[in-house]
């Protein structure tokens, strides 16, 4: 039976077990042998990271042809209007190609949201808001590049879910083991 770990990756943690001497790693949080990340999150992103001991499952989770939806809570600088949201929904032309259409909606700040260390920069004259953004691919830094392309830079990025798995009830730095 395949094993899968759901890990709520804190800000600043790199998605590998080997140490780089500068950042905390998965080894600082997870002492489980023979599990490997199924995908990555940038060091400055937070939220759900899946790890598994099953190479075939790892491939199914990460392979774009399986199109696992990934939902993010995205705090952006400014308040996107209907035009910006529609651009995200249609797809955005990035330097490495067109993104697939995304689901994009304004949302309230997530309930029970933990503080980030270091905190997000705030400017008193520029409001921020939260987006619920679901994508079906995983280009490098895609969500950040998409929001910037429509004029609303990402300040904080939290992956809420991958497919059926979520961070519900999982504090930052904590993980949950289950059978896939």
CATH number at residue 97: 3.30.70.1560
Distance between CA 81 and CA 154 in Å, rounded?
Answer: 15
For residue 15, report the phi and psi dihedrals to the nearest 5 degrees: -85, 55
Number of domains present in the structure of the chain:
2
86 and 45 within one domain: no
108 and 76 within one domain: yes
103 and 39 within one domain: no
Length of the chain: 180
36 and 16 within one domain: yes
172 and 115 within one domain: no
37 and 23 within one domain: yes
88 and 58 within one domain: no
Confidence of residue 79 (pLDDT cuts 50, 70, 90): very high
Peptide bond into 85 cis (omega under 30): no
Active site residues: 42
- Domain extent, residue 76, equals 69-162
136 and 112 within one domain: yes
81 and 134 within one domain: yes
Confidence of residue 60 (pLDDT cuts 50, 70, 90): confident
- Alpha-carbon torsion (128, 129, 132, 133), positive or negative: negative
| pTM over the 0.85 mark | yes
Q: How far is CA 143 from CA 59, 136, 159, in A?
A: 22, 11, 10
Per the listing, tokens 């990460």 go with: 62
175 and 112 within one domain: no
pLDDT higher than 90, residue 62: no
Condensed to tens digits (0 to 9), the pLDDT of residues 145-175 reads 999 999 999 999 999 999 999 999 999 999 9
The pLDDT of residue 134 is 97
Region 59-69: mean pLDDT is 81
Condensed to tens digits (0 to 9), the pLDDT of residues 84-94 reads 999 999 999 99
pLDDT higher than 80, residue 67: no
Strand pairing partners for 178?
A: 4
136 and 75 within one domain: yes
Task: Kindly report the CATH number assigned to the domain that includes residue 7.
Answer: 3.30.70.580
73 and 59 within one domain: no
The pLDDT of residue 63 is 79
Condensed to tens digits (0 to 9), the pLDDT of residues 107-144 reads 999 999 999 988 888 788 889 999 999 999 878 899 99
Strand pairing partners for 52?
A: 4, 36
Region 13-24: mean pLDDT is 90
Tell me the pLDDT of the chain averaged across its residues.
93
């Amino acid at each position: 039976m395949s094993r899968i770990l759901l890990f709520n990756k804190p800000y600043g943690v790199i998605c590998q077990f080997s140490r780089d001497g500068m950042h905390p790693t998965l080894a600082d949080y997870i002492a489980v042998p023979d599990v490997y990340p199924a995908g990555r999150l940038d060091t400055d992103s937070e939220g759900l990271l899946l790890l598994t001991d099953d190479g075939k499952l790892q491939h199914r989770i990460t392979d774009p042809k399986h199109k696992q939806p990934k939902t993010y809570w995205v705090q952006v600088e400014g308040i996107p209007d209907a035009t910006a949201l529609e651009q995200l929904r249609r797809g955005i032309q990035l330097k490495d190609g067109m993104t697939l259409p995304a689901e994009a909606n304004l949302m309230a700040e997530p309930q029970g949201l933990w503080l980030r260390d270091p905190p997000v920069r705030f400017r008193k004259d520029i409001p921020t808001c939260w987006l619920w953004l679901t994508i079906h691919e995983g280009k490098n830094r895609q969500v950040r590049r998409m929001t910037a392309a429509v004029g609303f830079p990402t300040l904080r990025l939290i992956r809420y879910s991958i497919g059926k798995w979520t961070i519900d009830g999982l504090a930052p730095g904590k993980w949950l083991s289950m059978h896939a």
